[in-house]
Chains A and B, each alone.
Chain A
Amino acid sequence: MTEFLANAGSWILAASESGEAAKLSDGGVLASMAWLIPVVPMVAAFAIVFWGKKMPYKGWDIAIAVMAFEALYGTALLLSHISSPIAHDFQIEIAKIGNMPIEWGWSVDGLSIMMYFLVGVVGFLVFLYAKGYMEGDIRFTWFFASFTLFAGGMLVLVSAPNMIQLIVGWELVGVSSWLLIGHYWEEHENSSAAIKAFLTNKVADVGLFVGAIIVSMSVGSFRFGDILDAVESGAAEAPMLAQFAFWGGLALFIGAMGKSAQFPLHVWLPDAMAGPTPVSSLMHAATMVTAGVFLVGRMFPLYLTEGFATEVRSIIIIVGALTLFLTGLIALVQDDIKKVLAYSTLSQLGYMTVAMGAGAYTAGLFHLFTHAFFKALLFLGAGSVIHSVHSNNMSDMGGLKKDMPYTYWTFVVGSLALAGILPFAGFFSKDEILASLRYASGEFGVADGGGALATIVLALAIAGAFITAFYMARTVFLTFHGEYKGHGHPHESPRIMWVPLVALAVPSAVIGFINIPGVTEVFTKLVGGREVKVLDHHAESFDGLVLVLGLIAALAGIYLGWRIWGPDKETQQERDTFRVDGLYPLLENKYYIDDFYMDGVVRPIRGPVARAMDWFNGHVLDFIVNGAGLLAKAAGRVVYWFDQRGVDGAINASGAITGAGGGVLRLLQTGKVQQYAVLIFAATVILVGGLVIWF
């Protein structure tokens, strides 16, 4: 005991001196103090629960201070990393099990720095906005406690230098998302949506658990560093990992499919709209949904190195392609503005996944990066509109352009970025994915087995670009153009809400410029920092053909959207009832996937299957138990009867003996089962004990 208290002291010292870190490349004080990034919000979340109500701004002040700290720290790390790449990894042993250490720690490298920056900056703006949006909420303080926990969980996840910590962060994000989605838990629907999110993620977590176990046990370490070293050393050097890499890689990807809401585990995400809009904004942009893509990015060499999990990439690319295409179509038929954005998030996550599957690490992460800005912007814009018209439905909106100028113009910037129009941010990242797909398809002679697959996926991705532009045009026109169809007088949101909109609109517009192929490759350098263990094979320059095709698709989408939903009063009626026969019911019912899960899986398990088990317990297992008990009791009666007759008949001579015997036997008759039991017990013990001795 005293020994480990002493140890605890030395760990704290070691942590502040970053003893082990000295071996790795520097990063300086900034990297060695980066443990503050996950720890501060976790501590703050508790502080808000206990003391938030006593603060001048009811806990928001703590939360925003934490996020300001995260934003500044993330930015500082980013700048420092760009000037000289950091690879810092520090772990503290918190227990040893067998001979495997379990550790907490933090890693500071390109991938995690990118996430620190993203979560910090986007998070800060969303928290700022949330103050205005949540004003007057019944559980204002509690909301910011959960929201801080949510951001903190994400930071625990991205700072993880090993599987265990990743899982911890992963589940913290899950549980805090459950709290936030179910924030208005008075409504049964909302708490159901929260449970749906948690359980769908939990299903995927079976994959994460199994994958983490397979990979870690094959390498003999939970550390990412060790796992990636094993991959680097090649299949011959790490035979056990090579043997299990396919299953491990696949299981991990199933885990990623949950958080990153990939088809067919995407169903939780649209329902997650039940939470307050700032939650959707953060959940769909910088946090939570990025976790899956992040995980694949973290484990990327495993998927890319020959002899390991390369086959899984075909699965990844197919899942991503299905997601990007199928969910994009659903967005077309939604009336709820948040649902449109939710399905568009799914679709964009599909793009990221496709990129990862195609081996385009940088392109996938770049899209994650740009998407975080414009999707946060779009959700906050939608929130601003909802705040103003008190409805989520676009059929209650229209013509908000003049009443809400900041919201309108920033929303348009976000939409253009999402649609991938030059020169907005989404254009560059989407184009990079398309170019990488073409590259992977073998046009340039770098066939990787899946050339044909990549070509098909490329076609779907271009079609997806068209769909994206199409539904965003619809959203903009229905919401901001035409005539107002709601009640009351819409008004622009307060300054604390529109300032974050403007602040997010700037990067949404221009941040794509940081990674122009062949010109500025800041982002490529940023995420490729980790001792270049990532053998990225994305396209290294613009691909003229896909660039043009992608742009044409996007412009065509907007044009068609304008033709159908444009602000032309005469077609007002027509545009509200735009339907494609045959396809519409399918989309309206989300391909019946939700229904299948509900009626085909959840209800049967909760109902008949569970009841059958309970019945089995009471009527079969307990039948045996109770039956045996009753049988023993009956046997006791028979013995008693026999004894009475026998004893009375044979030894009638001594009344004393009969009396005493009867007394003992009467005890048996009292019905106290335990007395039978003691007798049976004693008899069995003597009997079998004798047998054992005799043997």
Chain B
Amino acid sequence: MEWFENGWGLSLIVFLPLIGAGVLLAIPKANEALQKQTALLFAGASFVLSVVLAFAFDFGEAGIQLGTRLDWIPAINSSYHIGIDGISLPLVVLSTFITLLAIIYSWEHWPEPHNPKAFLILMLILATGMTGTFVALDLILFFVFFEVVLLPMYFMIGIWGDRNEITVPVFNIKTQMRLYASIKFFLFTLFGSAFMLLGFLALYFRGGRTFDMLELAANGAEGMLGSGLAFWVFAALALGFAVKVPMFPFHTWLPDAHTAAPTVGSVLLAAILLKLGTYAFVRIAIPILPDQSQNWAPAIGILAVIGIIYASLACLAQTDMKRLIAFSSVGHMGFVMLGIATMTPIGINAAIIGMVAHGVITGLLFFLAGSMSHRYHTREMARLGGNQKLMPIMGAILGFTAMASLGLPGLAGFWGEFMALLSAFSPAEGLSTTLFRTLMVIGAVGTVLAAGYLLWMLQKVNFGEPKDEWAGHEFHDVDKWEMAAWAPMIAVTIAIGIFPRLVFGATNDSVVELVTNAFRGLG
């Protein structure tokens, strides 16, 4: 097992899907069965290895482990440096887990225009980008992985996305939803990335000519990155990350992209892609620029809470079920960002469990929305109703997931929300307690609104008598592929809810160490 712990294991987890994509290229287009099996094999192997990784992981060790560092581009002192700690471990497992389930779900659910080969290749490339981002410890490497996810998702939305005509408000441009959403997604994220890259370059030149995150963090904690420029460096980084999260007011790409994307695309977007941004805050922004993080924390906290309330209110106005779920993501990520903004171990722990829970729960909601719109050929909630009668199992799973999404204690979503609020009661030293306590109360009010839009959604979709237009239709309730993809997500939601150590057990020591290292000099 030594080879596994020397970084090979981690590298395999990251690159197996990419190799799978390469193999897929060689398979004739007609042979769909083999394509699916190949994709399943590689994604499955990646997931199995990530589980092995969790067993190989030393939970007593708070620092980076199971990684390696190889020369890559010596000219700019950038290396292939990978490794994980308790913060990245749950996210690595989450991404391989969701990718595998997405492939299982896809087995018999292909969006138009079909072409499974291309679709699977994109999914596998995405998987490499996502897991890679969570293990990269070099800024250039991180940037490459971070950007690798853009293109496959762009094509997924642009090609397999929603073909309905929409009119862009104000400009009155008529276009197809998929075209508008894919370009918006791509450009908006790229816009953020430009600033992020600038930030990275500034860190390189000011932080000791290295792209290594650990070295930069050590330099940063010692105050090597002065304050004048650092203020703007943090702003550039934060802008890049905030677009990805997305934080209010940089979130407007999200509702469109999620709504337009094919089911699996929405699931991967919500479950994993959004976490790249929040993860980057924890992994890069806080340790490398701790004092600037503290300067900016109040602003981040305020935007996070605005996001919670704003998104929940916007959810109440939605008539499209998928768009409602998309907006709810903005609200949930608000709780994650509130946790991060407190700069405390409790807050960052809350953020990570919040990311995992949101990944599983909202991922499942998007699966459900996709399967339902596949059957009803509409996502308009006004036309649905009585779903509980037409498809009892689907309805029950939707009810369960909505409960999980509103943060029901005993299910996974609770810990992230409650602990984020808890951490806001006593934020890190130097932050205004008055401000953060106010944010805590407003954030708590957000939970009421979240309950509101989810309950009303259930009332519209599940309850009541089915509409006349469905009379005589035969609806197939949940099929075996759907069940195979969803049952594990339900199980994980319950398991984390009852036994949060599944996540906190990994994260807590690493988070405490990260915060201690970052703020050692600030006392």
Contacts and interface: CB of A to CB of B under 8 A. Distances in A.
A1 interface: yes
B92 to A, nearest CB: 14
B505 A98 contact: no
A685 B464 contact: no
A575 B477 CA distance: 55
A245 interface: no
A202 B448 contact: yes
Interface of A: 1-4, 93-100, 102, 164, 167-168, 170-172, 175, 178, 182, 185-188, 191-192, 195, 198-199, 202-203, 205-206, 209-210, 213-214, 216-217, 605-606, 609-611, 613-614, 617-619, 621-623, 625-627, 629-630, 673-674, 677-678, 680-681, 684-685, 688-689, 692-693, 695
Interface in B281-326: 310, 313-318
8 contacts: A4-B59, A94-B501, A99-B345, A209-B444, A210-B421, A210-B441, A622-B169, A684-B198
Interface string B365-391: 000000000000000000000101100
A98 B100 CA distance: 32
B110 interface: no
Contact of A171 (B188, B410, B440, B500): B410
Given A195-B455, A623-B170, A626-B168, A610 B409 contact: no
Interface residues of B, number: 81
B470 interface: no
A191 B464 contact: yes
B305 to A, nearest CB: 14
Given A199-B455, A217-B426, A685-B194, 9 more contacts: A4-B505, A97-B350, A185-B463, A202-B452, A617-B255, A619-B169, A625-B252, A626-B168, A692-B202
A191 B447 CA distance: 20
Interface in B72-107: none
A171 B408 contact: yes
Contact of A629 (B187, B197, B202): B187
Contacts of B447: 202, 205-206, 209
Contacts of B464: 185-188, 191
Contacts of A102: 500, 504
Interface string B404-444: 00001110001000110110011000000000000011001
B409 A1 contact: no
B187 A172 contact: no
Closest 8 CB pairs of A and B: A610-B316, A610-B317, A95-B504, A614-B317, A185-B463, A168-B409, A98-B345, A95-B501
B183 interface: yes
Contacts of B456: 195, 606
Contact of A673 (B183, B194, B317): B183
A613 B310 contact: yes
B361 to A, nearest CB: 15
B445 A206 contact: yes
B386 to A, nearest CB: 8
Given A95-B500, A191-B464, A681 B345 contact: no
Contact of B201 (A170, A171, A192, A689): A689
B17 to A, nearest CB: 23
Contacts of A621: 249, 252
B441 A625 contact: no
A678 B191 CA distance: 10
B171 interface: yes
B455 A198 contact: yes
Contacts of A692: 198, 201-202, 205-206
B41 interface: no
B36 interface: no
B448 A210 contact: no
B193 A681 contact: yes
Contacts of A684: 194, 198
B297 to A, nearest CB: 17
Contact of B508 (A97, A205, A209, A217): A97
Contacts of A168: 409-410, 414
A170 to B, nearest CB: 7
A506 B414 CA distance: 43
B492 interface: no
A198 B314 CA distance: 21
Interface of B: 54-55, 57, 59-60, 154, 168-171, 183-184, 186-188, 190-191, 193-194, 197-198, 201-202, 205-206, 229, 249, 252-253, 255, 310, 313-318, 344-346, 349-350, 386, 388-389, 403, 408-410, 414, 418-419, 421-422, 425-426, 440-441, 444-445, 447-449, 451-452, 455-456, 459, 462-465, 498-501, 503-505, 508, 512
A320 B185 CA distance: 54
A115 B190 CA distance: 59
A199 B345 CA distance: 32
B508 to A, nearest CB: 5
A626 B191 CA distance: 13
A304 B487 CA distance: 49
A677 B186 contact: yes
A688 B198 contact: yes
A614 B314 contact: yes
B314 A617 contact: yes
A583 to B, nearest CB: 33
Nearest to A629: B187
B388 to A, nearest CB: 7
A206 B409 contact: no
A45 to B, nearest CB: 12
A613 B444 contact: no
B444 A625 contact: no
Contacts of B463: 182, 185-186, 188, 191
B187 A674 contact: yes
Contacts of A99: 345
B170 A206 contact: no
B184 A625 contact: yes
A695 B345 CA distance: 36
Nearest to B253: A625
A685 B504 contact: no
Contacts of A609: 313, 316
A1 B409 CA distance: 25
Contact of B448 (A203, A217, A613, A674): A203
Nearest to A618: B169
Contacts of B422: 213, 216-217
Contacts of A205: 447-448
Contacts of A171: 408-410, 414
Contact of A606 (B198, B316, B388, B440): B316
Contacts of B448: 199, 202-203, 205-206
Contacts of B171: 626-627, 630
B318 A614 contact: yes
Given A610-B317, A685-B194, A98 B349 contact: yes
A216 B170 CA distance: 50
Contacts of A617: 252, 255, 314
A323 B367 CA distance: 46
Nearest to B494: A46
Contacts of A210: 421, 440-441, 444
B57 to A, nearest CB: 6
A497 to B, nearest CB: 29
Q: Of residues A97, A182, A195, which shows the largest number of chain B Cβ atoms within 10 Å of its Cβ? A: A97
Contact of B388 (A167, A175, A185): A185
B57 A1 contact: yes
A80 to B, nearest CB: 29
B194 to A, nearest CB: 5
Nearest to B314: A613
A155 to B, nearest CB: 13
A1 B310 CA distance: 40
Given A626-B170, A693-B205, A97 B459 contact: no
Contacts of A619: 169-170
Contacts of A195: 455-456, 459
Contacts of A203: 448
Nearest to B198: A688
Nearest to A168: B409
